[in-house]
Homo-oligomer: A and B are copies of this chain.
Amino acid sequence: MFHDRLADTARRIEAQFTRVLADLEPVPVVQAMGYATEGGKRLRAFLVLESARLHGVDPARAIWPATAIEALHAYSLVHDDLPCMDDDDLRRGRPTVHVKWNDGLAVLTGDALHSLAFELVSHPETGPPQVRAELALSLARASGAQGMVLGQALDMAAETAETALTLDQITALQAGKTGALIQWSACAGAHLAQADPAPLQRYAQAMGLAFQIADDILDVEGDAEKAGKRLNKDAQAGKATFVSLLGLEGAKSRATALVEQACAALSPYGTQAETLREAARFVIARDN
CA–CA, A156 and B106, complex, Å: 12
CA–CA, A147 and B157, complex, Å: 34
CA–CA, A150 and B124, complex, Å: 23
Contact B115 A149 (CB under 8 A): yes
Within 8 A of B (CB), among A25-46: 25, 27-30, 33
Is there a chain B Cβ closer than 8 Å to A60's Cβ? no
Inter-chain contacts of A103 with B (CB < 8 A): 84
SS class of chain A's interface: helix, strand, loop or mixed? Answer: helix
Name the distance in Å between A164's Cβ and chain B's nearest Cβ. 18
CA–CA, A149 and B112, complex, Å: 6
Contact B143 A115 (CB under 8 A): yes
Contacts A/B (CB < 8 Å), 12 sampled: A27-B150, A27-B157, A28-B157, A30-B145, A79-B107, A84-B103, A105-B156, A111-B114, A118-B118, A119-B140, A124-B137, A129-B133
Measured CB to CB, the residues of A under 8 A from B are 23-25, 27-30, 33, 75-76, 79, 82, 84-85, 102-108, 110-112, 114-119, 121-124, 128-130, 132-134, 136-137, 139-141, 143-147, 149-150, 152-154, 156-157
